[in-house]
Each structure stands twice: as structure tokens, then as C-alpha cells.
Chain A
Amino acid sequence: MTSSKTILYPPLHRRLYSVWFRHMRVYTKNLLSNGFPPFLEPLIFLAGVGLGLGKYITEPMGGVSYIEFLGAGLLCTTAMFTAAFECSFGTFIRLEFEKVYDGMLAAPMTVNDLIVGEMLWVGSKGFFFSFAVLCILAAFKIVALPYGLLAPFVGFLTGVMFGALSLLVTSFVKTINHFNFYFTGFISPMFFFSGVVFPVENLPAFVRPVAEVVPLTHSVRLVRAVCTNHYSAILLLDLLYIAAFIVVFGFFAIRRLRKRLVN
């Protein structure tokens, strides 16, 4: 037998970073086509509201003008959508079609490193997408600086949260078409009923508890506090919800994906 002197494989933070770096490198490879739409999308949205819909909504909503109300919500939804797409279609393609993970797992990293690294990456993507919306909002003076600068951090949390959820969904999916159910049945409704386009307080009483259970509501409440610089103790519960959601869904996502990655 050879003497087993300790092998200096990369430490945890380097392994997570290398996974993060891989995704970042592939994403920034097409910088223009990947980096431009996050700025364009809020512009189109706000133009539609500012030029058209906004004229019919004259009452302030949640204490601010409608365009400010909706703009703050977009800071979260953009992070939600990018994370949900990346960790559903993106993850599935890497897993089943490109077999990218098989190659990565032959390098010194564990399934945990791979999944946690990916969650950190979609968090960063959420941060960037929120930041893009923030730039547009700030340019049109729809959000007040410097408070608004904290919004991308909410985008990060939102990204990690929807990354964990989407990874868990992906672990159940056998064909890529199944994701249609997830987007039409879960992600899209959340956009409308989590306090983004109108306050959850206006929902019928029997639907309110549902809005409190789904994740986006909590991100939206945090980001509104950030944008108005108006904080209350209930936000701690929202933060706690997000932290618990990430841990629980992340745990089960790793557990289930491990069975697909390591047989």
C-alpha cells in the first residue's frame, strides 16, 4: 500500500467558487445577449405603465404612486424569473442533455458543492437583475437613492430562494415539458398575487393566508421597505421565512438531485 499522505484537494470555499465561476464564465460569454435584456425589460414594463395603464390608476397604492409601487415589485420579480429559469430549464439541460455535471463531478467536488455553488450563482444573477432594474428606476427617479441600493441584496435572497425551489422541482422532472406546469401554475400566479401589481391587503380574506405562504410575498415586503426606507419588526419574520425556505428546500433539492447525479 502507498503511504496515504494527506492530499491537498481544494478547500470548500474554493470548490464553491469554482462552480460559481464556471456558471459566470458561461453566462458572460454572450455578454450582450445575456446582459442587455435585464435592462430593457423594466424599461418596456415601465413605459407600458407610465404611458398607458398608469393614467387610469390615479389613487396612490401602498402610499406611493402606482409606477413607484410596481417598480419596487419588479426589483424582486426579475430575480425570481431569472432564478426560476436558470434552475429549471438551465439545470435540466446541464443534467440531461449536455451532461455538464457528470464532467464536473469527476473533478474534486461533491454533489453538495455543485448544488450549493449553483444556488449561489443564481443568487448573484438575482442580484445583477435587481441591479439592472434599479438602474432604470433610478434613471427615471422612480426609486430614491441611496436607500434603493439595498434592493439588489433582496434580489440575491430572492434568487437563492427560487433557485432552491426550482432545483427541487427539477429533481422531479422527467421531460423538459413538465416545467410548463411549474411556470403557468406557480410562478406566473405569484407575479399577480404576491403584492407586486396590487397590495396583498386587497386580496379577499380567504386568499390572504395563501399569499403569506408563497415565497415571493416575503421578498416583495422586504424590497418595499428598502425602497421607502420604512422598516418594521415584521420584516424579521420575512427574513426568517426566506432563510428557512432556502435551508429546507435546498436540503431536499440536494438530497433528491444526488440520486440523479450519483447512482
Chain B
Amino acid sequence: MATTVITVSNINKSFGKVRAVCDLSFSVESGSCFGFLGPNGAGKTTAMKIIYGKCTRDQDGQSRMNIFGYDPATNELAIKYLSGVVQQEDNLDDELNVIQNLMIYSRFYNMPAGTAKERIEYLLDFLELSEKADSKIKELSGGMKRRLVIARALLNSPRLLILDEPTTGLDPQVRHLIWEKIRQLQRQQTTVLLTTHYMEEAFQLCDRLLIMHKGRNIMEGRPHDLLEENMEKYVLEVRDAEPGPKIRAEMIPAGVRMDDALEIVRYYCDQIDVLKEMAASALKAGNYLIRQTNLEDVFLKATGRGLNDKQ
């Protein structure tokens, strides 16, 4: 039985009149990957920042937090010491080279110089950056900078790794490399907290997912369960703007749910044959697509298709 290492109950955070986090509760088991999914401005980053003490939660007397036995409001140093944090920005020291950047941080963790050098050598190898050890930060690509920030977060062999949108803006190769490394760390019993708005990333990495919207927890569970419980298995997508035959309302069989978005009409159903028949009887081949539903469908169903004012 895995032990619970993070328990958060009923936390709130307001910035002036805006409630960034609203009555949020969740718990995370040791060695698992827990993901926060949500549109921009949903409160994911704020929730993470509250955990490592970069943000303070509202003191309303109701909230409780236990991060590896500590509450960030009273013990931020202990939590920071056992965590590694990868923030959204690559805040590296441009004046220093790759090794020097890591050496500076090893001092923050009070690592003896010898231990630090060994650890840095290992981490540069782990993240495939060994060749860049003496490079200037400006010479690194976006993907290398990100990997360096991850290496920096791993310096003190953290028990908790906090990743705030770790692969945003990176190409598929780097993204897959980073996913692979995160899985390796998990196998070594590192607990991972992750925010993302890539559904695939969430599906690939997370043991549990929490979908946030406007600061609230609107859905939580194993990615597979979320999909199964909230979504039909298949979807037929028809581009509305296309000329030619259309599916009329009276042609929709029972058990099929229609979602009429701006340009695309989607028909959801658990039986693929029903959708195939619908398409064959009313649509031209090539005008439609039948596919399995995915987390993105769940996400859009849960958070709506409209943009909020922070997106």
C-alpha cells in the first residue's frame, strides 16, 4: 500500500477580488504522478506555488496542508529542501555557464563541493547535456534550457518534484525525452506534481488527474476512468461548413449525443457501428472522421469551449 505524502484540504487563494483557488482539496500517494489539468488562469500554477511557499494561501482557519509532514505556512524551508521545482520560466543565470549555474544551486542546498560535482556530472548525463557542460546559457536551445532547469531541480535528489508546464513550447523529441526521464524518476519513488494543458502529456504521465476550472476542482480520477466515466467511446466529427449532405436532427438515433460547436458538429456514441451507419447514410466519404474519444473531449466538455478572460 502506497502511503499518502501530500494532503491538501479546503485551500483558498484570493488576489484582491479574484479567487484564484477555490476550496481545493486533493491527496497524493508516494511515488505517483499527480497532474493538474486546466485552461490558462484555472489556478494550476497558484496551487503549485502554494505548495512550495511561493504563494501563501488565505488564512481562513478551514484549510489544512500536509506536504511530507510539513505545512508550507510554518515550514517552508523543510518543504523546499525536499522538493525540486521546475517553474514555467527558464530562470537561469545568463552570466554563468551550465556547470556554474548548477554549482551555485548546489550551495543553496549546502552540498559539499565534491558531492555536488559528482551529482552534476550524473545529472548532465541523465538529461543528455554532458556535451554542453561548459556552454554559455545563450548558446543553449529552448529544449536544452528546459532540461538544465530540470537538472537543477534534481540536484538535491528531491522526494517531491514539482513541474509547472515542463514541456510547453518544446518539440516532440524533447518532450518525449522529458517524459521518459520523469517516468524513470517515478520508478525511483520520486513523487511528481505536474501542471499541463497537453492532454497527451497528462495521459502519458499521470496516475491521477485533477481538472481545474476557475480555481475549482471539477473532476478528479485516473485518466482512464475519467475518460470512461465521462465520455462515450467514439465520436463522429463533421465539418459543418462543408457543402453537401447533412445529418438532420430527426436522423440522430437514440444513444447518440450531439455537440454543435462553431465549425464542427460532433456526435458521441459508445457503439462505433451506429456512428458508421449515420455517416454512411448521410455523409460523403472524406467529409467526416470517426475516432476514439480522448481526454481533450473530456476536458472541453468539463471546462466549456468558450474562452475566459485570462486565456
* Interfacial residues, chain A to chain B (CB-CB below 8 A): 1-4, 7-10, 14-15, 17-18, 21-22, 25-26, 29-30, 98-100, 102-110, 262-263
Contact = CB atoms under 8 A, between A and B. Distances in A.
Given A8-B81, A15-B108, A22-B104, 7 more contacts: A4-B70, A7-B77, A9-B110, A21-B107, A99-B91, A103-B91, A262-B54
A106 B107 contact: no
A10 B93 contact: no
A7 B78 contact: yes
A107 B109 contact: yes
B109 A106 contact: no
Interface stretch (B82-90, B200-208, B282-290): B82-90
Contact of B107 (A2, A7, A18, A99): A18
Interface stretch (B94-102, B174-182, B302-310): B94-102
A25 B97 CA distance: 11
Contact of B93 (A100, A107, A109): A100
B78 A105 contact: no
Contacts of B69: 1-4
Interface in B1-20: 3-5, 7, 15
B96 A29 contact: yes
B4 A9 contact: no
A2 B108 contact: no
Nearest to B55: A263
A98 B108 contact: no
Contact of A107 (B4, B55, B105): B105
B53 interface: yes
A262 B105 contact: no
Contacts of A17: 107
B56 interface: yes
B54 A106 contact: yes
B52 A106 contact: yes
Nearest to B111: A10
A26 B54 contact: no
Interface of B: 3-5, 7, 15, 30, 49, 52-56, 66, 68-70, 76-78, 80-83, 85, 87, 89, 91-96, 100, 104-105, 107-110, 152-153
A17 B108 CA distance: 9
A9 B91 contact: no
Contacts of A1: 3-4, 7, 66, 69
A108 B110 CA distance: 9
Contacts of B3: 1-2
Given A102-B54, A107-B80, A108-B81, A2 B68 contact: yes
Contacts of A7: 70, 77-78, 81-82
A201 B153 CA distance: 57
Nearest to A14: B110
Contacts of A110: 76-77
Nearest to A25: B104
The 5 closest A-B pairs by CB, nearest first: A4-B69, A10-B110, A107-B108, A106-B85, A9-B81
Contacts of B7: 1
Given A1-B69, A102-B91, A103-B91, A109 B108 contact: yes
A106 B76 CA distance: 10
Contacts of A107: 80, 105, 108-109
A14 B53 CA distance: 20
Name the residue among B56, B81, B89 with the largest chain A CB count within 10 angstroms.
Answer: B81
A138 to B, nearest CB: 32
B108 A104 contact: yes
